[in-house]
């Protein structure tokens, strides 16, 4: 039986699903897979991109855990591609590589004032409240009135975490520094702004219902925003998800929620034009009203409005990061590829190099898309076997020797089980399922049983 030594860079859902699917599908090859991640923990955005009060979504971690716990995929955490290992290293040890590094940066919002103090990328805030080990413990939560720009689930997550009563998060895995930061926040009003209307939002129905029914928070919508054109009505009639979301918003419009000390405002038909500042700090935000054009799209009206806020969160999408020695599309924020085959500048496939997940197609789609993505990439990888690399040092111990020779303190799966167990132990002490650890050095020490 022929042998396939495969490296996968990125231990989030995309990388884990690709590894699992190739092991289940391939019968002609003895497959050996090593999974690398720059973080000491696996699971990617499921651990570091999902709000802590979403235990249903975090249940995906259980399925990912079962894949890695089987023992037929080796995990190497705390290993940074391009620094600790290079493409040349991978060619010495493997037949091919799949990049599944995702998209973790904020997409740019190119308007005046975006660089003011108090203007934040939503992804950075998510990394803070999800206790990403590379983000500081402090977050400036000193605004009473906040604007969140975006009409996707990340915008709703950010708004909900900002406005939710901090004590209602104590049943989750948030560490104490996040709870204390949110507890000290003086916030009273969070405004979420979208460029289009209720029939064009990118929320999921569940996310929307959760945001509109937060204990101790009044949800508010505005009559002027309930506009529908032929394109909107067609979308409502043909798409059950859109129909449910419109009905949810209409129900709130007809049956306003009771006044509370904290308020969540949903605004539509608002395009951000400028973040206003005083003395270098956010003091407000200017929007241009839009209107439907008959097709479900919107056009500018020229009508400007200003809102007084002291902080702005830009939730306009994620963007991929460049990878050493791999061609990158600076406009789309993805690796240059065709159906998962990585392409050079001339458009030719680079032998042995593939990609999957958000770094392949951009930050769109849910877990089901990730699996379909992986299947497409794997199909091409297996059909390209004639162009695989011929590694000079393919032994399974060789990569460990390379990492150790460079002083890389990598996290293997048994070490992660130690960290996982410690998080559960700490959680039980405070009546929770787990308490997330956030210090990289501490996690590495615990992984060694220290």
pLDDT values of the chain reduced to their tens digit, one per residue, 450 residues: 588 999 999 999 999 999 999 999 888 889 999 999 999 999 999 999 999 998 777 789 999 999 999 999 999 999 999 999 999 999 999 999 999 999 999 999 999 999 999 999 999 999 999 999 999 999 999 999 999 999 999 999 999 999 999 999 999 999 999 999 999 999 999 999 999 999 999 999 999 999 999 999 999 999 999 999 999 999 999 999 999 999 999 999 999 999 999 999 999 999 999 999 999 999 999 999 999 999 999 999 999 999 999 999 999 999 999 999 999 999 999 999 999 999 999 999 999 999 999 999 999 876 767 888 999 999 999 999 999 999 999 999 999 999 999 999 999 999 999 999 999 999 999 999 899 999 999 999 999 997
Q: Is the pTM of this model over 0.85?
A: yes
Distances (CA, A) of 116 to 190, 270, 283: 19, 21, 9
41 by DSSP, 3-state: which? Answer: coil
Q: Which helix (H) or strand (E) holds 440?
A: helix 440-447
**∠ at Cα 98 (92, 99), nearest 5°?**
110
Supply the pLDDT for residue 40.
98
Q: How many other C-beta atoms lie within 10 A of the C-beta of residue 17?
A: 24
Query: Do 374 and 335 meet the contact criterion of CB atoms below 8 Å apart?
Result: no
CATH architecture of 2-104+320-411: 3-Layer(aba) Sandwich (3.40)
Distance in angstroms (rounded) separating the CA atoms of residues 443 and 438 = 8
The pLDDT score that the predictor gives to residue 56 is 76
Burial 202-215 (b: 16+ CB within 10 A, else e): bbbeebbebbbebe
Beta strands per DSSP E along 279-370: 281-292, 298-307, 311-314, 318-319, 328-329, 334-335, 337-338, 341-343, 349-355
The pLDDT score that the predictor gives to residue 1 is 57
Dihedrals phi, psi of 51, to nearest 5 degrees: -60, 145
Integer CA distances (angstroms), 278 to 110, 148, 160, 284, in order = 19, 19, 27, 9
Specify the long-range contacts of residues 167-172, CB closer than 8 Å, at least 24 apart: 168/53, 168/214, 168/215, 168/216, 169/52, 169/53, 170/430, 170/432, 171/432, 172/52, 172/53, 172/55, 172/432
Cβ neighbours for 143, distance < 8 A, ≥ 6 positions apart: 118, 185, 186, 187, 282, 309, 310, 311
Closest CA to 14 of 378, 282, 441: 378
Residues 26, 392, 352, CA angle at the centre, nearest 5°? 45
Comma-separated ranges of CATH 3.50.50.60 domains in the chain? 107-318
User: Contact 361/334 with Cβ under 8 angstroms?
Assistant: yes
User: Which CATH homologous superfamily contains domain 107-318?
Assistant: FAD/NAD(P)-binding domain (3.50.50.60)
Give the residue range(s) of CATH 3.40.50.720 domains in the chain.
2-104+320-411
């Amino acid at each position: 039986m022929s042998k396939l030594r495969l490296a996968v860079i990125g231990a989030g859902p995309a990388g884990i699903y690709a590894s699992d699917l190739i092991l289940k599908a391939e019968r002609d090859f003895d497959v050996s897979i090593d999974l690398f991640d720059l973080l000491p923990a696996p699971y990617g955005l499921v651990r570091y991109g999902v709000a802590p009060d979403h235990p249903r979504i975090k249940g995906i971690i259980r399925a990912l855990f079962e894949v890695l716990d089987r023992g037929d995929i080796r995990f190497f955490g705390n290993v940074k591609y391009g620094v600790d290992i290079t493409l040349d290293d991978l060619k010495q040890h493997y037949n091919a590589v799949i990049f599944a590094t995702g998209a973790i940066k904020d997409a740019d919002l190119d308007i005046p004032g975006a660089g003011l103090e108090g203007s934040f990328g939503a992804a950075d805030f998510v990394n803070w409240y999800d206790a990403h080990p590379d983000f500081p413990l402090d977050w400036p939560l000193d605004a009473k009135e906040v604007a969140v720009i975006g009409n996707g689930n990340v915008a709703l997550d950010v708004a909900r975490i900002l406005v939710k009563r901090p004590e209602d998060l104590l049943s989750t895995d948030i560490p104490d520094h996040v709870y204390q930061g949110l507890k000290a926040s003086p916030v009273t009003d969070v405004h979420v702004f979208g460029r289009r209307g209720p029939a064009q939002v990118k929320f999921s129905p569940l996310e929307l219902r959760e945001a509109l029914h937060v204990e101790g928070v009044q949800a508010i919508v505005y009559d002027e925003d309930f506009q529908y054109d032929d394109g909107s009505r067609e979308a409502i009639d043909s798409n059950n998800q859109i129909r449910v979301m419109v009905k949810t918003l209409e129900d709130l419009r007809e049956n306003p929620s009771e006044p509370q000390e904290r308020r969540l405002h949903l605004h539509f038909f608002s395009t951000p034009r400028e973040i206003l500042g005083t003395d270098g700090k956010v003091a407000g935000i200017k929007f241009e009203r839009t209107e439907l054009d008959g097709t479900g799209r919107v056009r500018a009206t020229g009508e400007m409005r200003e809102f007084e806020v002291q902080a702005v969160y830009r939730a306009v999408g994620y963007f991929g990061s460049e990878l050493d020695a791999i061609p990158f599309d600076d406009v789309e924020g993805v690796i240059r590829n065709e159906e998962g085959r990585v392409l050079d500048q001339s458009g030719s496939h680079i032998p042995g190099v593939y990609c999957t997940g958000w770094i392949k197609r951009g930050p769109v789609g849910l877990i089901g898309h990730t699996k379909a993505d992986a299947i497409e990439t794997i199909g091409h990888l297996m059909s390209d076997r004639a162009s695989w690399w011929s590694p000079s040092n393919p032994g399974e111990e060789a990569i460990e020797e390379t990492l150790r020779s460079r002083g890389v303190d990598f996290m293997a799966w048994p070490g992660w089980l130690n960290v996982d167990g410690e998080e559960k132990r700490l959680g039980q002490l405070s009546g929770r399922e787990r308490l997330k650890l956030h210090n990289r050095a501490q996690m590495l020490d615990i992984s060694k049983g220290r």
